[in-house]
Amino acid sequence: MDVVGQVVSIFVALVFTVLPVIAIVVGIPLVFAPASGWTEIAKRFPARDGGQHYRVHFGFATFKGWIGFNGCMRVGSDSWGIAVGTNLLLPIGFKPFFIPWSAVESIVRTASSLGMTIYRIRIKGAPDIDFALRGAAFDAIAADAGAAGVPFFSER
């Protein structure tokens, strides 16, 4: 095989192996960030300056009732509100956000369609935001939410 043939073979191999991987790694976050509602939440509730203190680094959350972020959530809270970020390697489109307790209408304990207990964070005046935490991610914020006077309800 001549040099030109080898170059063409290498180029074709790169196009059909490397580019699809890059497209997936970059494309999926660019689709899921807006589709999940994450982009909208981050616009309405930008992260605080000075960084966030996260108590859980591999938490679970659900957006819009069906888009799950499993084991890739960073969640924390303090007396002012909830801090949320992601552990994704390329967090394109997933800016951290901070929801102040004053913006939280209530937290509703319910079961997901798969029977898991989830805690929906209801935002005042924003019924379009559907954000829920599971397990340790909720446990990390429960005490601060209670201390801030956020009402808790159980749905059956």
Q: Give me 144's structure tokens.
A: 């601060």
- pLDDT at 51 (0 to 100): 66
Residue 113: is its pLDDT beyond 70? no
* Greater model confidence, 102 or 156: 102
Residue 25: is its pLDDT beyond 80? no
Report the percent of the chain where pLDDT is more than 90.
Answer: 26
Residue 142: is its pLDDT beyond 90? yes
Helix residue spans in the chain (DSSP H): 3-36, 38-44, 135-147
Question: Could you tell me how far CA 152 lies from the centroid of its own chain?
Answer: 22
User: What is d(CA 25, CA 103) in angstroms, rounded to the nearest whole number?
Assistant: 33
pLDDT one-digit tens code per residue, 54-91: 888 888 887 777 777 788 888 999 999 999 988 876 67
- pLDDT at 156 (0 to 100): 65
Domain topology for 38-154: PH-domain like (2.30.29)
pLDDT band with cut points at 50, 70 and 90 for residue 53:
confident
User: What is d(CA 76, CA 140) in angstroms, rounded to the nearest whole number?
Assistant: 6
Task: Compute φ and ψ for 151, nearest 5 degrees.
Answer: -70, 140
Model pTM greater than 0.75? Answer: yes
Residue 147: is its pLDDT beyond 90? yes
pLDDT band with cut points at 50, 70 and 90 for residue 151:
very high
pLDDT one-digit tens code per residue, 119-135: 999 998 888 888 889 88
Give the Å distances, CA to CA, from 41 to 50, 63, 109: 19, 10, 21
Count of Cβ atoms closer than 10 Å to residue 82 Cβ? 28
Residue 23: is its pLDDT beyond 80? no
Residue 22: is its pLDDT beyond 70? yes
Residue 92: is its pLDDT beyond 80? no
